[in-house]
Structure 1
Amino acid sequence: MLPDLIGNLSTHLTWLSMGINQISGMIPRGIGQLYSLTNFIMIDNYLEGIIPDSIGKLKHLVRFAVQKNNLSGSIPNAIGNLTMLSELYLHTNKLEGSIPLSLKYCTRMQSFGVSDNNLSGDIPNRTFGNQEGLINLDLSNNSFTGSIPLEFGNLKHLSILYLYENKLSGEIPLQLGTCSALTELVLERNFFNGSIPSFLGSLRSLEILDLSNNNFSSTIPGELQNLSYLNTLDLSFNHLYGEIPIGGVFSNVTAISLIGNKDLCGGIPQLKLPACSKFPSKKLKGSFRKKLIIIIVIGVGGGFVTFIIFMSIYFFRKKSKTLSSSGSLENRYVKVSYGELHEATNGFSSSNLVGTGSFGSVYGGSLLHFARPIAVKVLNLEKGGASKSFTAECKALGKIKHRNLLNIVTCCSSIDYNGNDFKAIVFELMPNGSLESLLHNNEELGSRIFDLNPQHRINIALDVANALDYLHNGSEEPVVHCDIKPSNVLLDNDNVAHLGDFGLARLLNVVTGHSSRDRVSSSAIRGTIGYVPPEYGAGVHVSAKGDIYSYGILVLEMLTGKKPTDNMFGEGLSLHKFCENAIPDRIIEIVDSRLLVSSAEEGTRVMERTIGECLVSFARIGVACAAELPNQRMDIKDVIVELQAIKRKLP
């Protein structure tokens, strides 16, 4: 427990961090006596009771992080006294009540997260509108009502807005169109209505747009085609109608979800929807439009109606049920034959070979009906486990979609020209290679040599962490990857990292019980030597915590430039111990020399010191993730928070 005597600690104490322990009890009221405190971090513990009003005395507090506890009561009005506050993380507790109006005085706020609580009421006006430096706002999975405040239009730097799984209603306000920095806008599972506004097409930085499971009733704005960075668009389960655009994100069937909108037509051929009528239905409204639709449907005939019903039921089932075979995945995506893949890769020529893996080879190429270059992973079926790997990867990839996961185009199970079984998985080609090449074979990249500075490595680590968070916590059915390592992290043209190779992946069998997301039976050690968590060798079940261990080793490899199988490790010294022993004073002795070159080029001593502090924080994340005991490893959501803090601190 945290004793009330904590207030007797030195008033010069600036940092109090006891996250990821088993601390219980309440936050003592004496906390308010630590006047110099800038950081209070108690994430992932067993704290309960209320957040005391005395917290308002901490005038210098910059970061207050108490997510993943059992705190209850309301958010105290005293929070408004913390005018230096930059980060407030309260998510995954049992907080009730509404957002206090006093929060408007925290004008330096950059990140505010209260997801997964029991908060309710309207999102108050004139609260977040004062926080013009706000970057991340997460109010998801509560019971907020009312509409989106018009003042959100003041948030010029807002990058992430999560309002999903609430009871919000009304239309998307026009003012939101001024938030030009938005990269992720997720409004799913609310009661929003009206039209999908065309001004969303002006948000040029948008990467993820999810408006699913609402009551929108309109055509799909053609302006969304102009969003060149948009890679995930979910408009499913609304009341949309009319012609589907075909440009931009709409040209990639794997990047969009439109099911549950029965009156859509047109679009790319892969959607297999009926051609649109020549009637200008997008201009028809109200009962007249509905009557005309009924007349058209009746006129077309019973056979056509049967086709529509069949397709609606088919796609609905695809979303809600587990994939039973690789064949079902083939039907969902672009269909390709062996001959088409043979032609696309110049006969699987060695000149098209871009890599080899555990169960086969990867070839570069291009398909006529797919705009971007592809990578074809051809399974060597003579290798034991190759067929199971194919099934596992297709099944896993059929259920997941995220900007930091390798985007699947299709799976192909066929017969080659010699009458032999042929299995291949087709992905988008990642032109900038793998993290493995980035760290250890940079000379192979030729003119595409990367800048290996700290910012780049932090960005890659953050991309992979986001992918893991989605796999473990955000996908329809949680997935354990089982093989996190640098060669499975691939970089696109913009150097965004994508996690790939799901040949060993396991779908977690979710049943009743809090810990069910963390266990699945396994009959053998799964993964790559050096990255496999120690408990797998003892026969412990495959779990999400195992992925966290492998991720920790990957982070330490990025930090040091050394593989966990390096010859220097052995006889009691591991990559984990090597890094742990160097924190914090000897960190410069162990980091990749290319990081030191980058630091030196930055110039000033202050910058060098800041980068050094960030490298220490980066090392701590890797060491904490790769802890020997699973229950001591960091939660992936906390990893993301820490990495974002490092990213903001870097010059």
Structure 2
Amino acid sequence: MRTCMMLVYSMTLVSIAVSLSSNTDKLALLSLKEKLTNGVPNSLPSWNHSLDFCEWQGVTCGRRHKRVSVLHLENQTWGGTLAPSLGNLTFLRFLILFNIDLHGEIPKQVGRLKRLQGLDLSNNNLRGEIPMELTNCTNIKEIFLEFNKLTGRIPARLGSIIQLNELSLQSNKLTGEIPPSLYNLSNIEFFSLGGNKLLGSLPSNIDIVFPNIKDFLVGGNQIGGTLPASISNLTELRYLEISWNLLNGPIPLTLGRLNKLEIFRISANNFGSGGAHDLDFLASLTNCTKLSKFEIFKNRFGGKLSDHIGNLSIHLIGFDVRYNQIYGMIPERIGQLIGLTYLSIGNNFLEGTIPNSVGKLKNLVILDLQENKLSDSIPLSIGNLTILSELYLSDNKLEGSVPFSLRYCTQLLILSISINKLSGNLPNQTFRYLDSVIYIYLSNNSLTGPIPSEFGNLKHLSHLYLHSNNLFGEIPKDLASCLTLTRLVLWGNFFHGKIPQFLGSLKSLEMLDISNNNFSNTIPFELENLIFLNKLDISFNDLYGEVPIGGVFSNVTAISLIGNKNLCGGIPQLKLPRCVGDSSKTQKQSLKRKLIIISVIGGVLISFVAFITVHFLTRKSKKLPSSPSLQNRALRVTYGELHEATNGFSLSNLVGTGSFGSVYRGSLLNFEGPIAVKVLNLETRGAAKSFVEECNALGKMKHRNLVKILTCCSSVDYKGEDFKAIVFEFMPEGSLENVLHNNEGSENENDSLILSKRVDIALDVAHALDYLHHDEDQVVVHCDIKPSNVLLDEDMVAHLGDFGLARLIHGSTRHSSKDQVDSSTIKGTIGYLPPEYGAGGPVTPEGDIYSYGILLLEMLTGKRPTDNMFYENLSLHKLCKMKIPEEILDIVDSSMVMPTVEDQTWIVENNIKECLVMFATIGVACSEEFLATEVA
């Protein structure tokens, strides 16, 4: 009886012990979660008390003890740290926390995990040193800590973990010598220390210390010495990566013993001596029948490429010997390597012709033969390479014409044949088919004739270098279709005619060099519109007349005008003569005219303001022509179509979020051009009403300065939940908010809006409000005028959007009490909301005018009305009012591309200060607080 009782007691104690141990694991996991997820709500939702912890995401428990044996979480962006409580999971065998944006250090408590067999913390942001305590985990077989920011030395005691057969510490910031003790790990199969700053040499008896090695990766360090001959005895070796080190000497001639070798990378060292026998080892590699990649670039190898090259593995996909001292001819037998996807033998001393057999390499994606001494013509067989993506033949002695067979290389992205002796015209039809090409380099040849009009088909073209040839004619107008062009370099030819105005429509253009040609006439002012243009060279032509002052012309270091004798005007730093007649006043009057237009429109909108001394129009402003109705107005879309159009409403397609939903970029099969899909968050109070209001408000309105609605979708999603979305035309330049404020600190001044462009945008918004407020049938009050609701198309034309808060007031009774809307139902934006709305006053068009005034002042100063500099007695409105007119320059946005502060003379001569004062005066007048309250 007593024995039986003892057994019961014992079992009870065991049960209690197991329960307590299990609870320890649960508490450890909860503590780990808090740090791991950085306290982000809704992370790891299954980790709660309603579920057994063994059922939590990423957790696996042992069958016998109900203790955590595996913790596996990956591909998250929590940005947390590893808590010391990790050490309490003492039954843990595998800890895999891959790519979850971990920060901080690896806790020393990891050394308490005595049962640990596998550790993977790779692809994170871990810092600090590898803890010495990790070496207490004597049963560990796999350690993966690559792609972190670990520092310090590798613990020498890692060499005592005799069970280890996989060690990866690559791509960290580890320093010091590779501990010799690591070469005691005779069971190691995967050894990766690449991408650090480690010193040392390769052991001469590497075959003895690592008899089972399969992958030996130590590239990207500072390892010196020679490649030991004993490496040929590593019969299990598949992957040898020792590139980017300080190794030297010859390559063993016995590498053919490595019959399992697949990847051989020894690039960027000091191997070879420039001698005739440096490449003799290639013959032995013909026995490595599984070899797929052979890379020896950036060494000192001399000698010739022998016919043995044709006997290399049929599995070979990469052959890269660039930047060596290889001479002789390219063997005809190279055409036998039909599996090659890249062949790179550029930057050597090769001569002779390009063998016709190259055309047999139909799997080539990259062919690099540049910077050699190759001669004769480019073989027509090059056209057989139909999936070729990159072709580099520059800096040789190639003759003849550009082969017409290139038209068959329809997937070409890069075409580089500069610095040769090519002649003849550019083939007319060839470039019609190369509609994927991005970079074309044909400079420094003897090409003749005009630029083919087919270049207009190159919709993805970014770089076009045709300089130093004998080309002539005019720049074809077809280039206006190349909207992605960033660099156009045509200097040193015989082009003539005017500089085309359409160049000003190439909004992506960063460099334009048309110097040393025969261009005549005046410089088109349209070039001022190129906000990314940071280098313009139009020197040594026959140009005359006024030099513009906006855009790139405002930066004397970015332009070159020499060799044009009859230019005048421009910024003072150019020291050009003044222009005769009225032409010199054109630009400074342009800003003034635009601001006067704003003041007139503004006068119509706020005509009740008695103190504004502007002559009003006594009749209703003439409306701008409406935009033509969209051909896709009858467009109907389903939830499924929008789901597909936005890649499942993925984060990569998300372009913005608002109070009632999110906006995604997408594309529909039946609509040309990108679309914007505003998906309503129906859980937000008022979102459904916002959907109805916005659809109603935009349904009948058509104006060039309003965002164009394509359709509204009211449906159910794949889960059966209500789904509502509004589809608009996409505005590629984003919002005015982004342009004004997201470029803060930019080093490129052309990222900012110049004054004239801000005036244009202000005009666009004024036109939109004039249309909304003076419609004959109904008056629309927007109720949320602010920079984030002003969207910009590819031409930087502004479009007013987001009518979710808009209110409709019928035309003839728009000021009667029965039609005025109680503003207590309006949720506008603080800083832009009229004061009377906060006091419960009615919604009126004058409320939009107040918000418009604040918008103008923000555009002028670059300061939000909610900026920290403003407090109870100082607002954006009061600041601007105080500084008008004498101190206006003190508050102007410094990111405007104009020398306002630095050059007072320029400001006076060009009436810029007067324009700024007018801009500020309009904004202040529109945002006077007492105006709206008096009307109320």
Q: Which has the higher contact order (CA 8 A, sep 6+)?
A: 1
What is the TM-score of this pair, normalised by structure 1?
0.47
Instruction: Give 1 or 2: higher helix fraction.
Output: 1
What is the TM-score of this pair, normalised by structure 2?
0.33
Structure having the higher Rg = 2
